[in-house]
Amino acid sequence: MPAVNLHRFNTAPADDLRPLLRDCLAVPRWADEVLAMRPFADRATLLSVARSRASELSNDELHLAMAAHPRIGERKDGDAWSQAEQSGVERSLESRLFEANQRYEERFGHIYLVYASGRDGEELLGILEDRLGNDAATELRIVNGELAKIALRRLELLVT
C-alpha cells in the first residue's frame, strides 16, 4: 500500500499507477477513466471523479471486482488491503461466517461483499443475514455501492 502524493499521481506514467488503482478497484475501465482525467487540481476532485466512475459498474465489472476480494472472514496472503479492512473480524466467528458465506453464495452466485473497515465480525455477519432477503438486482446495486466505498477508502489512503 505505497502512498503517493497528488503531484506524483498527476505526473507519473499511467502504467506505474494503473496497478495501484486496480488494487483499489479491480476494474480496468475505472482505472483508465480515472487516469485519463488527470491532472486533478486537488485530492477532493480526484476522489469525486473516482466515486462517480465507481458508482455505476456493469454486472461484468461487478463480478470482476468481486473476484479480487476474499470472502469476509478469510485471510488472503499478500492482500494487505483486505487484511487491514477485515481486522475487526474475530477468529472465533470463522465457522459461522463460512456457513453464512456459503448460503449467500448459493443464493446470489457471488461472494458477499461489504465495506468492512471499522466493523466487527458480528456486525458483518448481521449485515450478511439481512442482505439474504434481497432480490438479485437489489443485491448487485448494494454490492456496487460497497465496492465504491472500498475503492474510495483505498484511494484516500493511496493518494496523500
- By the 8 A CB rule, do 21 and 9 touch? no
pLDDT higher for 85 or 55?
55
DSSP track, the chain: ---B-HHHHHHS-HHHHHHHHHHH---HHHHHHHHHTPPPSSHHHHHHHHHHHHSS--HHHHHHHHHTSPPTT---TT-HHHHHHTTT--GGGHHHHHHHHHHHHHHHSS------TT--HHHHHHHHHHHTTS-HHHHHHHHHHHHHHHHHHHHHHHB-
CA distances from 36 to 65, 93, 119, 121, 133 (A): 20, 43, 34, 38, 39
- What gap in Å lies between CA 89 and CA 118, rounded to an integer? 10
pLDDT-derived band at 146, boundaries 50, 70, 90: very high
Q: Considering only 43-47, 70-74, 88-92, 138-142, which range has the smallest mean pLDDT? A: 88-92
What's the predicted TM-score (pTM) here?
Answer: 0.88
Out of 6-10, 23-27, 115-119, 138-142, least confident range: 115-119
